[in-house]
Structure 1
Amino acid sequence: MNQTAAFIYAHPDDETFLSGCLIRQLADRGAKPILLLATKGDAGKKNGSLQQATNEELAAVRVKEMDKAAHILGLSLVEHLGYPDGKLNTVPTEAAVEAILAFINTHQPENVFTFGEDGGNGHPDHIAISKLTTSAATSGRCPSVRRLFYVASETLLTQGLSPAISVDTEPNWAVKAAALRAHDSQMLAIERYFGSLASFPEHRRYESFVLAWEQGIWFPPVTGEASKSVPK
Structure 2
Amino acid sequence: MADLPPILAVFAHPDDEAFPTGGTLAHYARRGHRVYLACATRGEAGQLKDPALVVEDMGVWRTQELEASCQALGLEPPLFLGYRDSGRSERLRRDDPLALHNADLWEVEARIRALIAELQPQILITFDPHGGYGHPDHLVIHRATTAAFFSSGHLPKPPQRLFYSVFTSERAAAMQQSGQAHSILGGLDPQVFGVAENTLAVRMNVQAYLPQKWAAIQAHRSQFADRIAAMNASSQQQALMEQMLAVETFALGGTRGPIPRWPLQDLFDGL
TM-score by length of 2: 0.73
Q: Distance in 2 between matches of 1:3 and 1:156?
A: 31
- 1:133-155 Cα offsets, whole Å, 9 max, x none, are 00111112444211000112444
Residue segments in structure 2 that go unaligned for 5+ positions in a row:
87-98, 170-191
Aligned partner of 2:145 in structure 1 is 133
Deviates more, 1:97-106 or 1:74-83: 74-83
Structure 2 residue corresponding to 1:42, chosen from 22, 36, 44:
44
Aligned partner of 1:152 in structure 2 is 166
- 1:158-186 Cα offsets, whole Å, 9 max, x none, are 46643222222322212111111111111
Aligned partner of 1:2 in structure 2 is 4
**What pairs up with 1:13-162 in 2 under 5 angstroms?**
13-46=15-48, 47-49=50-52, 53=56, 57-86=57-86, 87-139=99-151, 140-142=153-155, 143-153=157-167, 154=169, 155=192, 158=195, 161-162=198-199
CA contact (8 A) 1:26 1:230 kept: no
Query: Which structure shows the higher strand fraction?
Result: 1
Query: Which is higher, the Rg of structure 1 or of structure 2?
Result: 2
CA contact (8 A) 1:180 1:190 kept: no
C-alpha displacement of 1:156: 7.4
**Which amino acid in the other structure matches residue 182 of structure 1?**
A
C-alpha displacement of 1:206: 1.4
Structure 1 residue corresponding to 2:205, chosen from 159, 168, 177:
168
Describe the shift of the 1:31–1:222 C-alpha distance in structure 2 as closer, same or farther (beyond 3 A): same
C-alpha displacement of 1:27: 0.9
Describe the shift of the 1:179–1:108 C-alpha distance in structure 2 as closer, same or farther (beyond 3 A): same
CA contact (8 A) 1:101 1:141 kept: no
**What pairs up with 1:180-195 in 2 under 5 angstroms?**
180-188=217-225, 190-191=227-228, 195=231
C-alpha displacement of 1:28: 1.1
Find the residue that maps to 2:80 and give its secondary structure: strand
Q: Distance in 2 between matches of 1:183 and 1:228?
A: 26
Matched residues, number: 225
CA contact (8 A) 2:164 2:253 kept: yes
CA contact (8 A) 2:13 2:40 kept: yes
Q: Distance in 1 between matches of 2:65 and 2:28?
A: 21
- 1:77-114 Cα offsets, whole Å, 9 max, x none, are 31011311024221111211111111111000010000
Overall identity of the aligned pairs, in %? 29
Describe the shift of the 1:160–1:221 C-alpha distance in structure 2 as closer, same or farther (beyond 3 A): farther
